[in-house]
């Protein structure tokens, strides 16, 4: 049965068809037969079918009912189809072997890529690695270093949780329909035991507030959390901007916020 499917904008569908790019992605992923793979958005099978040639089992998450119906007609023995919204899926429970971590792959919908990445981080303890096709601009932001104009909230938080590496740039002509931007493959390896001792909620708050208005200095961006003196105590210039700070500096700021909160709490008591 051939699939006659019109890509849907609401699902951010741009189907990969370039066989050279597909072969390169499979080489980069380097699948092994007993790896526990989960693919987000199998679409028309550009990555799915080559992966199935290498692994004993492949679980796929698809939201499009027409594509789900088409995959069901294929009746592939080692393909396990889950009709589900990836933004609402528990990827730890999706594993066939609960004792084994999963490897995630996918050509992610560009319109939900950032919230989906943060959703996936909730399941990092049961994930070995992730290989995703994303908008190149997003991959550049994920992998950016301090001082780069693309360095921001996404850079800091993704690099706190993962080792991130840009692997391959993919041009629009490799897709149907061609997107208006370049794409890229990123490898994300969750840090199972982070080197930092920090309250992650406080870190997320500090990073979000620091980058809320990029042109603001730290003293202005963080004034509801810390004053200039408290920032300077950490050997961080209150007059600098968030885009210049490494991850370690944000960890120090978050710990300072919690320390001040604890001190104020003890004074009230």
Residue 211 has pLDDT above 50, yes or no: yes
Lowest mean pLDDT among 107-111, 145-149, 197-201, 219-223: 107-111
112 and 93 in one domain? yes
Tell me, yes or no, whether 164 and 210 share the same domain.
no
Instruction: Tell me: do 161 and 243 sit in the same domain.
Output: no
Express each pLDDT in 10-20 by its tens digit: 444 576 889 99
Query: What are the backbone dihedrals phi and psi of residue 248, each rounded to the nearest 5 degrees, phi first?
Result: -60, -35
Range of the domain at 133: 9-190
Domain count, the chain: 2
Are 73 and 183 part of one and the same domain? yes
141 and 227 assigned to the same domain: no
Give the helix/strand (H/E) hosting 160: helix 153-161
Containing 107, the helix (H) or strand (E) segment is strand 102-107
CATH number at residue 252: 1.10.8.100
Kindly report the pTM of this predicted structure: 0.89
Domain membership flag for residue 26: yes
| Own/partner pairs, 234-241, CB within 8 angstroms, 24+ separation | 241/214, 241/215, 241/216, 241/217
The domain boundary, picked from 190, 220, 253, lies at 190
165 and 214 belong to one structural domain: no
Final residue belonging to a domain, choices 190, 223, 243: 190
**End position of a domain, from candidates 190, 218, 236:** 190
Q: Is 224 inside any structural domain?
A: yes
4 in a structural domain = no
The answer to whether residue 2 is domain-embedded is no
**1 or 57: whose pLDDT is higher?**
57
Q: For residue 171, which of 186, 188, 184, 156 has the smallest C-alpha distance?
A: 184
Q: Is residue 3 part of a domain?
A: no
């Amino acid at each position: 049965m051939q699939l006659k499917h019109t890509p849907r904008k609401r699902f951010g569908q741009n189907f990969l068809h370039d066989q050279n790019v597909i072969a390169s992605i499979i080489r980069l992923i380097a699948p092994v037969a007993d790896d526990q793979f989960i693919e987000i958005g199998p679409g028309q099978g550009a990555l799915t079918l080559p992966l199935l040639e290498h692994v004993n089992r492949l679980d796929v998450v698809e939201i499009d009912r027409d594509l789900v119906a088409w995959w069901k007609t294929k009746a592939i023995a080692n393909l396990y189809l889950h009709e589900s919204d990836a933004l609402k899926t528990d990827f730890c429970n999706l594993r066939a072997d609960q004792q084994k971590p999963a490897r995630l792959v996918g050509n992610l919908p560009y319109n939900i890529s950032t919230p989906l990445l943060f959703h996936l981080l909730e399941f990092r303890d049961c994930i070995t690695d992730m290989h995703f096709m994303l908008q190149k601009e997003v991959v550049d932001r994920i992998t950016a270093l301090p001082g780069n104009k693309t360095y921001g909230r996404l850079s800091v938080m993704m690099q706190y949780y993962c080792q991130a590496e840009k692997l391959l740039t993919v041009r629009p002509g490799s897709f149907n329909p061609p997107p208006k931007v370049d794409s890229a493959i990123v490898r994300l390896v969750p840090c199972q035991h982070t080197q930092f001792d920090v309250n992650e909620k406080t870190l997320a708050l500090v990073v979000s507030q620091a980058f809320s208005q990029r042109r603001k200095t730290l003293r202005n961006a963080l004034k509801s959390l810390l004053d200039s003196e408290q920032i300077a105590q950490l050997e961080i210039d209150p007059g600098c901007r968030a885009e210049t700070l490494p991850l370690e500096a944000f960890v120090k700021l978050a710990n300072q916020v919690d320390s001040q909160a604890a001190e104020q709490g003890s004074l009230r008591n």
